[in-house]
Amino acid sequence: MTHTPIPMQEITHILLDMDGTLLDLYFDDYFWGQHVPEKYAEKHNLSLGGARETLLAKYKSHEKTLNWCDIDFWSRELHLDIPALKEQIRHLIDVHPHVIEFLELMRKQDKKIFLLTNAHFKTVDIKFRKTQIGEHFDEVLSSFHVGHPKEDIEFWHKAENALGFDKEHSLFIDDTEDVLKTAQEFGIQHLLFKAKASSKSDPKKTEHFPVIHDFRELMEENC
């Protein structure tokens, strides 16, 4: 679904997801799909295929919960040091094209910029140290601050209370359809689906939300 231009002059708050939206999801896809299975196979004397099959079942059982993004939980569950494994391949963490330019433009336009992420504090720290993107946000709110993932409507009530954004004049961008559906239910007025989440994968599709592939699209509309 294409979108009509966002009326940026009416927007006071920019709400942004991190992984897949601002940062290349390739790091996470590779980490959970390749790096962790390799280490799990070594640790538990399994074939790589056997490790992947076991891990996929474990992953699926915790989807859309805080456990899914809790790297301390996964360290205990898998008997692996997940933060240390992330550090091993931190060179793969990267910012999507034109993200920094977009954030700088929003700052010049006096928008409040909030990062809303399901990522664990330790993951946020690793990615901020690698990319320096954290300096562009007025505040960062993790699901672990509020005790609910973004797929849960309670996240949004607590986020509004914590950050004080005006949902009638807010733009929220995310690469996960279920999160956008919850934000829509809560009443966020302007929503965009970031289709190009990973540089190594085809764009994702949605029939429910307006789509952008690159932040340059928003900049061209609103310069």
Q: 140-183, pLDDT tens digit by residue? A: 999 999 999 999 999 999 999 999 999 999 999 999 999 999 99
Helices (H), 79-135: 82-88, 99-108, 121-131
For residue 54 the two structure tokens come to 């076991």
Mean pLDDT of the chain: 94
Length of the chain: 223
For the domain made up of 8-24+95-222, give the CATH fold.
Rossmann fold (3.40.50)
Which of 212, 221, 223, 220 lies closest to 96, judged by CA? 212
pTM here is: 0.94
Confidence tier at 222 by pLDDT (50, 70, 90): low
1 pLDDT tier (thresholds 50, 70, 90)? low
Residue 37 has pLDDT above 70, yes or no: yes
Phi, psi of 173 (to 5 degrees): -125, 130
Taking only the tens place, the pLDDT of each residue in 130-143 is 999 999 999 999 99
SS3 22: coil
Mapped to the 3 state alphabet, what secondary structure does 52-78 carry?
Answer: HHHHHHHHHHCCCCHHHHCHHHHHHHH
pLDDT (average), residues 101-123: 96
What pLDDT is stored for residue 207 in this prediction? Answer: 87
Count CA within 13 A, CB hemisphere, residue 39: 18
Q: Is the pLDDT of residue 223 over 80?
A: no
> What's residue 159's pLDDT?
97
SS3 165: coil
* pLDDT tops 90 at residue 6: no
When pLDDT is cut at 50, 70 and 90, the band that residue 5 belongs to is confident
In percent, how much of the chain has pLDDT > 90? Answer: 90
Can you state the percent helix, strand and coil of the chain, rounding each to 5?
55, 15, 35
How far is the C-alpha of 16 from the C-alpha of 24, rounded, in Å? 14
User: What gap in Å lies between CA 21 and CA 28, rounded to an integer?
Assistant: 12
Q: Domain segments of the chain: what residues?
A: 8-24+95-222, 27-91
